[in-house]
Amino acid sequence: MGELHAAALRNDPRVAEGKRLLLAALAERQSLLQGIKPPQDALKRDYAEALKSFSDLRGGATFYPYLASGFGSGPFVELGDGSVKYDFITGIGVHYFGHGHPDLVEASLDAALDSTLMQGNLQQSARSHELFRLLVDGANRHGAKMRHCFLTSSGAMANENALKLIFQKRHPAVRILAFEGCFMGRSLALSQITDKAAYRQGLPANLQVDYLPFFDAKDPKGSTSRALAVLEKYLKRYPQNHAAMCFELVQGEGGYYPGHRDFFEALMRRLKQEGISIFVDEIQTFGRMPELFAFQHFGLDEYVDVVTLGKMTQACATLVREEYKPGPGLISQTFTASTGAIAAACVIVKSLIEEGYLGEKGKIQRLHHRMTDKLKDIAKRHPGLVEGPYGLGAMIAFTPLGGDAEKVKRFLILLFEKGVIAFSAGASPARARFLMPMGAVEEKHIDEVMALTEAALLAIAEEDKGGKGVSSS
């Protein structure tokens, strides 16, 4: 029997021993990093200078004074000043397995031995084939009919590819439907769909977008009727002119507002009658619900034509039904993703499916309830300090201090100083949000993060009363 050189290299005892030693060194060093730490005095000056230089080179300061050292342990990340913080925003959803997860490190070591560090449309490896199969099979777990998969290196590009496939399929229709408050990305095309004027200021208009009101949990039937009425208005005004409607099933950047199956189904059924494509953007929701995909969680498998995913998978993807198979040349790019990202994606997706994350009793729901119960307890003990919580699964938000944007920013900065990284979402009201490192977090971590969250909230509230506040050390 023949043997590939690739297999022989991977099975070489020296390679196995090298990986064992590296992983052992990682585990030993990570055992020393298991909690929050303040900055080291000896590193503060150089770190401040590096931050200043970095901000100048990038054309603006970062939201937080954050430059990682390159090392972390589970939910903890080390910064260049020697401080250690809880990472509960995970790069806005990228570091789903936390920092330095041994399975991902091992996958990256294996990928580093491949002949190419980057894969592209012209040259892909068996790793891409494995990921394609995992994603397509995962999408079809409950009856969806995804047939093809296209990898890319960013969520924005996955959405761009989705739009190209849809416009080609629905030609000559040129308009897009979307929800008010949606976020689709910041590329030239996607900035036209994202419902935030600041993201397209000074940019040329290149898409025609019509917006529908999103689901209102306080008025489910009324909001469904209103959305359908607005849809009918646009269908009448622009007959046969809409190619697709973009669905965020949980509005992410907009404030972690979940929709409802009945609301989505009513719209999707009407859209299907008009031959309008159903495009579900799962760049942020994939892998964070009790089901692998949010459309599966809401029971919408039969309606979805195109779905995108990314962030926590490292390599991003566009999945489509058979009839959306592109014509020659429509989908082609130099880089589809790095070999390391593709290897990591395979590990992550298999882990989600096989290791107890999914389902109503899975890890995602268990830790969701742990954190939301803690937030509800804070709200009960301190009326007016917290509203919510909101979101689903690993996507959790709350409205602090009445939702005033300036107060929310002060709260987030203070929380960062105390050792927890979160971020904002939404406007009017502004919210604070968490994206838990689900592959690394435990109940004890959530408990400590929530205690620090409460302390930061109380400190800001006290400051606003004219008091001295609580120390941020």
pLDDT tens for the chain, 473 residues long, are 688 999 999 999 999 999 999 999 999 999 999 999 999 999 999 999 999 999 999 999 999 999 999 999 999 999 999 999 999 999 999 999 999 999 999 999 999 999 889 999 889 999 999 999 999 999 999 999 999 999 999 999 999 999 999 999 999 999 999 999 999 999 999 999 999 999 999 999 999 999 999 999 999 999 999 999 999 999 999 999 999 999 999 999 899 999 999 999 999 999 999 999 999 999 999 999 999 999 999 999 999 999 999 999 999 999 999 999 999 999 988 899 999 999 999 999 999 999 999 999 999 999 999 999 999 999 999 999 999 999 999 999 999 999 999 999 999 999 999 999 999 999 889 999 999 999 999 999 999 999 999 999 999 999 988 754 433 33
Dihedral sign, Cα of residue 179, residue 181, residue 185, residue 191: positive
Angle of helix 443-464 versus helix 405-418 axis, rounded to 10: 130
Q: Are 286 and 311 in contact (CB under 8 A)?
A: yes
Distance, in Å, from the CA atom of 421 to the CA atom of 89, rounded to the nearest integer, reads 6
Strands (E), 130-283: 148-152, 175-179, 208-212, 242-247, 250-251, 257-258, 277-282
pTM (2 d.p.): 0.95
Q: What would the two tokens of residue 228 be?
A: 């359908």
Give residue 52's identity as a one-letter amino acid code. K
Q: What would the two tokens of residue 346 be?
A: 């395979």
> Mind giving me the DSSP string for 64-123?
S---EEEEEEBTEEEETTS-EEEESSHHHHT-TT-BS-HHHHHHHHHHHTSS-SEE-SS-
